[in-house]
Structure formats: structure tokens, C-alpha cells
A and B are shown apart, each in its own frame.
Chain A
Amino acid sequence: MRSSLDKTGGTGFFDSMPEITLDDVRTLLVDNCMLRVQPGEIEPGALLFGPGSLGLDSIDALQLTVGIEKSYGIAIKEPAVAREAFHSVETLREWLNRQPRQNSSSA
């Protein structure tokens, strides 16, 4: 996990990784999920699943995890972790930025 030191000026490996932005996450969502909105229309606080959300389903979740792994080399294996990370657009962005990354083909 990326520590707070990493965020505040450490010189470790993770510092070389560009920050994943809100637009990156929006693009990730539109590219991998069956959303009928443009990336710019997605609010940072928008929930991903459940009532009043963007309306993602389990196949979207599957596609999204695969998309994240392809783009950032971050594998999600635990349902509990996924539930937490995929709560909203913003929690996903924050969570992604805390993870060690192996590559960043789209970031």
C-alpha cells in the first residue's frame, strides 16, 4: 500500500507514477462499463452501484477490474476490497492512487 510518506514527498518508486485523475477514472468507467453518458457528465461523488448510482452491475464490475488491471497493473482479488474501492467515482480514484502500480499504459 502507498503510505502517507509517499504522498508527501518521499522519493520512492511510487513517486514516479503519475497521479490518476478524475478524468482518468471517468474514462475508465466509460470504456469498460455500459454507461450511456459522456465522461465529463460523471460527477466525482457519483455512486457506482445501487439505487441512485451510475447503475453498474456485476458484469460492469468484472470489466472494470479487468480494465484497471490492464491500465494500471492493479489486481483486485478480494470482494471486500472491491466493495470499498468501487463505492463512488472519487473513492475509486483515491483507492487507485494508494495502490502500487506495475505499469500505467493509459495513465
Chain B
Amino acid sequence: MSRGLAVASSRSSPPHSAGLYRATMFGAGAFLARCFPLRLLRILAGWAGWLYALTHRERVAVVERNLRLLDASLRTQAARRVYRAFGETLADYFYIGTRPPEQAARIVTKSEGVEHFRTAHERGKGALVVTAHFGLFELGGLMVAQMGLPCSVLTYPEPSRALTEWRAAFRRRWKVDTLEIGADSFAFLEIAERLRQGQFVATLIDRPHPTDHTPVEWPNGPAYFSAGILLLAAHQGVPVIPALIFRRGDGTYHSRIFPPLFVEERGSRAETLRFYSQQIADTFLPVLCAHPEQWYQFVPPAPSS
């Protein structure tokens, strides 16, 4: 049952090493991205991710359990590959953040469903873009901004003020705004206002939050989405557009924007959230199964775990 609205949370159960998840480390990453070619950077970051996985068995075990929700045959090696892929994704993240937006956007070489963004924009209202901790999801904001559409990314405060500001400044270079949502029960009013203004508001949905967790079924077991924000989309009359951006074999990216959902009341609040969360999960599933190494699901699937 959902008991609160959560967005883009990485704080509900920190999936990262506190020592690495700091503004100074992000700054160092951006510095390296300016000094080294992307190919070399990816190799180094991939090795670093692999090494991290070898030395953090408990974290790898969590990822392995999550992967098995998608495919029971996936084992520890697959979970380690997630960390290697995550390292490579970080290399791409720093690379695109240190290049002009037009150049950075060229890393996306295949797009499907862009018309769903345009159609939503033509309606004159905004849209809620929901994505997963999958691939390089930050690219979504850049894509939307490059289309000339106003975009905000919802996020919780990072572990430090400096990191929050660092990441917000990072997005601002792409003309993507960051809307930080704290513990304020009325933060949704600010989100609603942006939707009314016609903004595209992007959020991550595939992790549970202590106060916002709607059950969904993956092929081999349940997990939870923080889906409360779907109700806001319903009340504002804006479409919910699921989207994923993931790395292709040649190192460029593929964006898939799925047909919009229009959230309507389906019984109780919990039933409504469950229905639409499952629809989003079902939409994401084939892509996640095709690229499980890019599902950066570093937290347990249930909020109480």
C-alpha cells in the first residue's frame, strides 16, 4: 500500500558507497572526462565497476536477487556485469556532461516514439515521464530539452548539499531544471504547477520508498514502485509517458519512448496505482530483459528488506 508520494529516490536505501557518492568524486569524474577519450574512459570505468563488484559481495547479492526477478537463470556473473556496465554508464554520463549539448545528444543514435513527446506537447499541457534506473536515464532530460521542450527532473536531496547543487548545475547546462523534493507533503503542488505550465516532468519510478510503494509483479516475483506521483498526473490530466534509454552494442544509445498512459480512477487509490504501475512494469520488461546488465537496481525490491 502506498502511503506517500516519492520521486527519483536514491535515499530511501542508499545503494552507493558514501565515499564515492560525493561532489568531489563527481567533479573528478568530469575532470577525467575532459582529459581522456571516451573509449579509454569507459574501459577504465568498466574495470573499476568490476573490481567494485568483486570486493562488495553483499551488494552484488542484492543485484543478483533483483536480476532473478526478471530471469531466474541470471547468476553472480550477471550481477557483476551490472557493476561493470554501471561504470561505463558513469563514463558516458561525465562525457556528455562535459560536451556541448548538441554534441552530447549525438550519443543517442536511435530513437523510437519521439512523436509521443511532440503529441503531448501539442496538447498544451505537460507530461509526466517515468523511467527506470536503467541505462543512462539522465539522457532523457537532454533529449527533451534538445527538442525545445521545457523539462524538469524530480529528485530527492543528495547526501550532501554540494552534490545536489553539482548535479543540478550539470542538468542546467542542458536547460534541464531540477526540482528537489524533500519531506514536504505539499511538494506536489510545485510539480503540479510545472505540469500546468506545460513542462515535461521526469521521474524514476522503479524503486520502493518507505512511504510510497506499490507492488508490481516481475516474471519471478514481486517488487515495488514508488508510483504515487501517477495520481498527480491523473489529477492534472497529463499523460504518463514511460521511457527508457539504454546503451547499444556500439556504445551509442537507443531511446524508447512508449505510448502514453492516461491514468484514470480504477477502484481505490491502491488499485489504481497497482494497475498503472503494472502497466509500466510490463512496458519496461522486454527492454530490461534484453539488457539486464543495464538495470541499475542496487536496492532490495521491497521497502522493508
Contact = CB atoms under 8 A, between A and B. Distances in A.
Interface of A: 34, 49, 56-63, 65-66, 76-79, 82-83, 86
B228 A58 contact: yes
Contacts of B232: 62
B208 to A, nearest CB: 15
Contacts of B189: 65, 76-79, 82
Contacts of B188: 58, 61-62
B212 to A, nearest CB: 7
Nearest to B1: A34
Contact of A77 (B2, B185, B193): B193
Contacts of A66: 235
Contacts of B211: 57-58
B106 to A, nearest CB: 39
B94 to A, nearest CB: 33
Contacts of A34: 3, 269
B231 A58 contact: no
B186 A57 contact: no
Interface string B23-35: 0000000000000
Nearest to B181: A58
Contacts of A56: 185
A79 B186 contact: yes
B212 A59 contact: yes
Interface string B200-215: 0000000000011000
A66 B3 CA distance: 17
Contacts, number: 55
18 contacts: A34-B3, A34-B269, A57-B4, A57-B185, A58-B4, A58-B188, A59-B3, A59-B5, A59-B212, A59-B231, A59-B269, A60-B185, A61-B188, A62-B228, A62-B232, A62-B235, A63-B231, A65-B189
Contacts of B2: 59
Nearest to A78: B189
A49 B192 contact: no
Contacts of B3: 34, 57, 59
B186 A61 contact: yes
Interface string B1-19: 0111100000000000000
Contacts of B185: 49, 56-58, 60-61
A82 B192 contact: no
B288 to A, nearest CB: 27
Nearest to B190: A79
B186 A77 contact: no
Interface string B231-272: 110010000000000000000000000000000000001000
Nearest to A62: B188
Q: Which of A49, A57, A58, A63 has the most CB of B within 10 A?
A: A58
Contacts of A76: 189
A76 to B, nearest CB: 7
Contacts of A86: 186
A49 B187 CA distance: 14
Nearest to B270: A34
Interface string B170-199: 000000000000001111111011000000
Contacts of B231: 59, 62-63
A56 B188 CA distance: 14
Q: Considering the complex of A and B, which 9 residue pairs feature the smallest CB-CB distances, nearest first?
A: A57-B4, A79-B186, A58-B5, A82-B186, A58-B185, A61-B185, A59-B228, A58-B4, A79-B189
